[in-house]
Structure 1
Amino acid sequence: MKVIWKILTNLTVFIGNDIVQMNDFHTIPLKLGWNKLFFKFIKRFNKKVVRGCWGDDIVVFDAQAQGVLAYSDTHIGTKAINVEENKWRIEEQHLPEFLSCCRYVNKHADAFAACLYEYYMYYNKDEYRPRLHYLPLPIEIPDEKNISVKGEHWPIKVLVGIQKRRDFIKGASIIGELVEKIAAEHPDKVVVNKVYDVPYIEYCKILEEADVLVDQLYSYTPAMNSLAAMARGTVVIGGGEEEYYDFIGEKELRPIINVRPHDDEYNLNVLRKALLTPGWISKMSRESAAFVRKHHDYMKVSRQYIEVYDRLLS
């Protein structure tokens, strides 16, 4: 009732807008029936509604199962992985109330804003394509004094931050084991700091000391955690597939140490090259900061949003 009361007492905020940007198909902390009614209200009393494609939904899980991308956190090709761990996520999105709300919002949204290449590809279907836009994650660019070139001296310091409850989605522990293997072979060149479930403020302090951050195994592209680190010059081990660089038109910068699930031999070769080649990490550190500045500066991203909004209203 508190949520409903808050909406009712702020009703004028939700009426008469040119654009309403919604994070997802369920935007208020109530049952899906209420979310569907809320969307109908927003749609009725505002000019245009934009739906964010920023997380789990039925379209995402169906596309992953169909092998739209070579891998994800639920499938390698069309083969399901982490089945028991992912069961609740997928079953929830198949509940009747989730299906009804998601399908209704998707049918009536005026546009879709995909914040990652993956989400864009999952929604790149005939029924959504004319309304689909890639609008990258915005990052506030740090002052130059807060950007440092990492990895100029041995040993290279690698941070493995693991959230135990979500590691089956992120896969950081798997990458961490490979980095530890390299560190055991070359203790003078690579050191690993592995931490578990560290509070965010403490995590940020630890990250400041690292040259390299282990992020996600199952991603094609860098998300918020990676980009925030890269903006400060930290090199990320995670998703940086060539398809993604082609998609955004990036011809030169390759700042991410790209790893892939279920391919330890490939991953070890990539990691050894990056971590053990003199000057490689410092080069990637410079490219990391340049990449975020080029593609994710929040001022640039905000202008991209405005361009989409202007086209919707024209």
Structure 2
Amino acid sequence: MKILLIGEYSRLHNSLKEGLQELGHQVTLLGFTDGFKNYPVDFPLVKKWDRGWRKKLKLAVLRCTGFDMTSYFTYLQFLKYQKHCQGFDVVQLINEHSFFCSYGFETKILKYLFQHNKKVFLLSCGDDYSYVNYNFEHPDNPSIVQPYINGKIADKDFENVLKFRRKSFQKLHDFIYQNIQGVMATDIDYHIPLQHHPKYLGLIPNPIHWSKFPKSDIKISDRIIIFHGINSGSYYKKGNDFFEKALQIIQQKYPEKVSVLVTRDVPYQDYINRYNQAHIVLDQLYGHDQGYNALEAMAKGKVVFTNASEVFEKHYHITEKVAVNALPDVDYLVAQLSFLIENPEEIKTIGKRARAFIEKEHDYLKIAEKYLKIW
């Protein structure tokens, strides 16, 4: 098959591409490189007029005329690649807003893709109309909406989520769903809002190229190393405020037993290299299922504090812990960390289970086959 993957979040489409290519298919990836993470893309798009004085000028033009310069320049970039975006058996959009354009330019690009390719599918991956609105309607469901509702995030800092509640995004959502063959969720958090939608084709777990992470036994000498990687743009959405408070207590409680490594906004390759030496990785709160950073850390046999709720355990029939379900509760996080620090053999045990879980449920070749079956 000839396949075009649009967009990249946390290396999802790169891992899928690798699996599909190993199975003998021709795969092209077009999109943004996911900001500072800088993932590889065959045909890269770059956000322009999105910082400094150009951004201020863009916003002034937008207020006065309704014309979005960043969207216009993204559309021009797409036109440059247009001849490479036709004649595919399958096109897959990573999100309802894959090009980050205003409604007019986004639909121009999408219309071309719909008209010049055989089939188009959509992933529910990251924030979208269904996920965001479901969580505002169900505030008790653990999600990124909770810290916003609790007043931790200002409207301007939550704009990339709130935009999906606007009428223009409902219109975009409806337009996409009228033209796609179907939508797939990449984890349980996105599965829940779509369960009864007529175009929902099911949950396909994130693909992990686990063979890139050689299996090795965790070695613990005099100190347990805890890694905390921070993305400033999602500081409160990931629950980093709770993690930082818990780490302060842990460092005071176990000054001779732990070492804490913290990074902020580093590229993907730098990020993974820095946490290689860690035993415990602090990932995120507010959800049911793991994202990419957690899954790759689990593939390396780390103990990851992440989303691993009872809903997740029930879905995968898990009876023994493969990750620590992180909750927005400092005392709880301190207790969980303390237990592992005082029982280092448990770190090794959970790490081995985590690796086995990734090999069983997230193998990139098995996941690629699941996509092929649905397509």
Note if contact 1:73-1:218 (Cα within 8 Å) is conserved in structure 2: yes
Query: Cα RMSD between the aligned structures?
Result: 2.5
Q: Distance in 1 between the 2:319 and 2:346 partners?
A: 15
Quote the residue 2:371 is aligned against.
305
Note if contact 2:139-2:145 (Cα within 8 Å) is conserved in structure 1: no
Quote the residue 2:262 is aligned against.
194
Shift of 1:4: 4.4
1:21 equivalent to 2:92? Answer yes
Q: Distance in 2 between the 1:264 and 1:104 partners?
A: 43
Quote the residue 2:188 is aligned against.
117
Aligned partner of 2:338 among 269, 272, 275: 272
Q: Distance in 1 between the 2:267 and 2:89 partners?
A: 39
Shift of 1:281: 0.4
User: 1:75-133: per-residue Cα shift (whole Å, max 9, x none)?
Assistant: 27x95553415542243223443221112212432211111110111222x3x255231
Question: What is the correspondence of 1:81-120 to structure 2 with a 5 Å cutoff?
Answer: 81-84=151-154, 86-120=157-191
Note if contact 1:68-1:121 (Cα within 8 Å) is conserved in structure 2: no
Note if contact 1:214-1:238 (Cα within 8 Å) is conserved in structure 2: yes
Q: Distance in 1 between the 2:343 and 2:95 partners?
A: 43
Quote the residue 1:251 is aligned against.
318
Secondary structure of the structure 1 residue equivalent to 2:162: helix
Secondary structure of the structure 2 residue equivalent to 1:246: helix
Shift of 1:14: 2.1
Aligned partner of 2:349 among 264, 283, 289: 283
TM score, norm. by length of structure 2: 0.72
1:218 equivalent to 2:290? Answer no
Secondary structure of the structure 2 residue equivalent to 1:221: coil
Unaligned ranges ≥5, structure 1: 310-314
1:131 equivalent to 2:203? Answer no
Secondary structure of the structure 1 residue equivalent to 2:350: helix
Note if contact 2:290-2:307 (Cα within 8 Å) is conserved in structure 1: yes
Q: Distance in 2 between the 1:301 and 1:68 partners?
A: 31
Shift of 1:224: 0.8
The 1:151–1:184 alpha-carbon spacing in structure 2 relative to 1, beyond 3 Å, is farther
TM score, norm. by length of structure 1: 0.85
Secondary structure of the structure 1 residue equivalent to 2:122: strand
Q: Distance in 1 between the 2:259 and 2:370 partners?
A: 40
The 1:140–1:272 alpha-carbon spacing in structure 2 relative to 1, beyond 3 Å, is same
1:160 equivalent to 2:228? Answer yes
Q: Distance in 1 between the 2:221 and 2:317 partners?
A: 29
The 1:196–1:23 alpha-carbon spacing in structure 2 relative to 1, beyond 3 Å, is closer
Q: Distance in 1 between the 2:314 and 2:177 partners?
A: 27
Question: What is the correspondence of 1:139-158 to structure 2 with a 5 Å cutoff?
Answer: 139-142=208-211, 146-150=214-218, 152-158=220-226
Secondary structure of the structure 2 residue equivalent to 1:97: helix
Q: Percent of aligned pairs with the same residue? A: 22
- The amino acid of 1:257's aligned partner reads V
- The amino acid of 2:130's aligned partner reads V
Secondary structure of the structure 1 residue equivalent to 2:229: strand
User: 1:2-39: per-residue Cα shift (whole Å, max 9, x none)?
Assistant: 324324433xx423x44321212233354322322433
Q: How many residues align?
A: 300
User: 1:161-182: per-residue Cα shift (whole Å, max 9, x none)?
Assistant: 2223321221224213213312
Shift of 1:296: 0.9
